[in-house]
Structure 1
Amino acid sequence: MLQIGAHLTISKGYEKAAKEAISIGANTFQFFTRNPRGGKAKALNIDDIQRLDEISKVHGFASLLAHAPYTYNLASGDEDIWELGKRLLRDDLDRLQHMESCSYIVLHPGSHVQKGVEYGIDRIAQGLNDVLIGEENTMVLLEGMAGKGTEIGSQFEELGAIIDQVHHKNLVGVCLDTCHLYSAGYDIVEQLDSVLLRFERIVGLSKLKAIHLNDSMMPFASHKDRHAKIGEGTIGLRAIVEFIKHPAIKELPVFLETPNEVEGYRDEIKMLRSELNK
């Protein structure tokens, strides 16, 4: 069964978000751990979290996916920015310890800001080593990026190099984004098998834990991150469906981040389930 969700707001609580997911035909969802453009997080409501966990169990949800704020930059050479990212990640991991229904937090690896790719990779790995103590029940997923500017993580080799340096490798995995993959120069439309074989060789498919499912507004290898609705971009519906049907992907939870309101997510989920049942 397709494990699919969308990015939903938790401003009115986790229980409400879970019920909203069910109402659109989803069996998981993604949420920001805190203000995506800042550092503020709401006070934990343990009762609300417990109701979420119960709903997740009753409805057979796949693991939820927490999304770190964009203010993290573990590749930064600025000590204040780097320390802020580590502090927020540690706080998010501590908060997620209370949530049985969420096993993963995804973060953008960061930007080296003219310091160089190798510097950025080393900095990210060092930051993760400073944060992770080995007792967390939440795995950190590095998101594959489109490659704009000085982003780290658009190439499989960069993701693999970070993981290679992490002490607690069992606590670090990868989330791939279909839009980012295509924009980074991985041809998932015509050469999907080759792309996934390359990922297996460099990183390992055992490290792939979740998928961001998006079409792209931009052409192949544009290195620009512009999500499109499913079937309305340069990747196209056929390639998106073939992607989630692939044996290496089909058991993984997928999360829509398309430019939609909740009703639009419902339509996309319905369409994808229908396509998979043909």
Structure 2
Amino acid sequence: MLIIGPHLSIAGGFKKAGEEAVKIEANTFQFFTRNPRGGKAKALDPKDVAGLRQIIDDQRFGPLLAHAPYTLNMCSAKPETREFARMVFKEDLLRLEELPCELYNFHPGSHTGQGVEKGVAGIVQILNEEMWADQKTTVVLETMSGKGTEIGRCFEELKMIIDQVDLPDKMGVCLDTCHVYSAGYDVVGNLGGVLEEFDRIIGLDYLKCLHLNDSMMPFNSNKDRHQKIGLGTLGTETFKQIVTHPQLKDLPFFLETPQEDTLAYQKEIELLRSF
């Protein structure tokens, strides 16, 4: 069965988020580890975590995906920004050891004018200093649209990071459909070719999950504007190809489409399952 779910708030607790996922017939979900703009993470409640574990077991959920806050920027030129990123990353990894979630996604960040190589070095330094050999979490780099000084606009930049990490077996990639299309990878007209390129440069074994987002922007725009499935420049047929592709269909898919409420995701889940 297709492993698919929405992005849910955990403000009411992990168990409630799990219940919301079940209500809309999802079998996974993504959540921010804390406020997406930063701040302290809410203390974990063991009973709440146990409740989520029970739902995952009962409903046979696929892997969940934790998402770092947008303010985490390991490659900033500002030392204080990088130290904040280190603190959040370290704290999140420790918290995930207590949660039934083994995937942690973050945006590689913006090098803020230092250049890609120096930016990558900053990311790698923090990853190597804060990850450990027996952690259960796979740290996932997200593909980016390429706006401004973002790192991760191309597969080669993600490969640069993975190649320099001491624990590459603890690393992965999340392919965001909106982002890669805006970055110049034609998943609409040549999905097979994009996957071949990913495999050649990074290796498909590193592809751990996908963000399913249509886009408000044209191909190769380098702009990040998500749209509901089928209502943007990627179109419904592209998502049919993605969720049925033999190299992708067994991976977890996470919706980050702009919705008014959680129930609005249900129609997208039903559509994608219909394929």
Partner of 1:106: 105
TM-score w.r.t. the length of structure 2 is 0.98
Q: Does 1:53 align with 2:53?
A: yes
Contact 2:75 2:111 in 1 (8 A): yes
Partner of 1:82: 82
Partner of 1:7: 7
Partner of 1:244: 243
Please report how far the alpha carbon of residue 77 of structure 1 lies from its aligned counterpart in structure 2 after TM superposition.
2.0
User: 5 Å matches for 1:147-162?
Assistant: 147-162=146-161
Give the letter aligned to residue 15 of structure 2: E
> C-alpha separation between the residues in 2 aligned to 1:259 and 1:88?
26
Please report how far the alpha carbon of residue 39 of structure 1 lies from its aligned counterpart in structure 2 after TM superposition.
2.2
> C-alpha separation between the residues in 1 aligned to 2:126 and 2:240?
36
> C-alpha separation between the residues in 1 aligned to 2:242 and 2:180?
12
Q: Where do 5+ consecutive residues of structure 2 fail to align?
A: none
> C-alpha separation between the residues in 2 aligned to 1:211 and 1:17?
20
CA offsets 1:199-225 (integer angstroms, 9 cap, x no match): 001001000001000000000000000
> C-alpha separation between the residues in 1 aligned to 2:151 and 2:226?
19
Partner of 2:219: 220
User: 5 Å matches for 1:115-154?
Assistant: 115-154=114-153
> C-alpha separation between the residues in 1 aligned to 2:74 and 2:134?
21
Partner of 1:42: 42
> C-alpha separation between the residues in 2 aligned to 1:254 and 1:178?
11
Please report how far the alpha carbon of residue 123 of structure 1 lies from its aligned counterpart in structure 2 after TM superposition.
1.2
Give the letter aligned to residue 198 of structure 1: E
CA offsets 1:126-157 (integer angstroms, 9 cap, x no match): 11111112221111100000000000001000
Contact 1:215 1:233 in 2 (8 A): yes
| SS of equivalent to 2:102 | strand
Please report how far the alpha carbon of residue 190 of structure 1 lies from its aligned counterpart in structure 2 after TM superposition.
0.7
Give the letter aligned to residue 80 of structure 2: D
Moved over 6 A (4+): none
> C-alpha separation between the residues in 1 aligned to 2:167 and 2:116?
22
Contact 2:217 2:223 in 1 (8 A): yes
Identity across aligned pairs (percent)?
Answer: 54
| SS of equivalent to 1:118 | helix
> C-alpha separation between the residues in 2 aligned to 1:85 and 1:160?
21
Please report how far the alpha carbon of residue 76 of structure 1 lies from its aligned counterpart in structure 2 after TM superposition.
1.1
Contact 2:243 2:272 in 1 (8 A): no
Give the letter aligned to residue 117 of structure 1: V
RMSD: 0.8
Give the letter aligned to residue 174 of structure 2: C
Give the letter aligned to residue 21 of structure 2: A
Partner of 1:255: 254
Please report how far the alpha carbon of residue 7 of structure 1 lies from its aligned counterpart in structure 2 after TM superposition.
0.1
Partner of 2:208: 209
Partner of 1:71: 71
Contact 2:104 2:138 in 1 (8 A): yes
CA offsets 1:53-96 (integer angstroms, 9 cap, x no match): 11101111001100000111011121111111011111001011
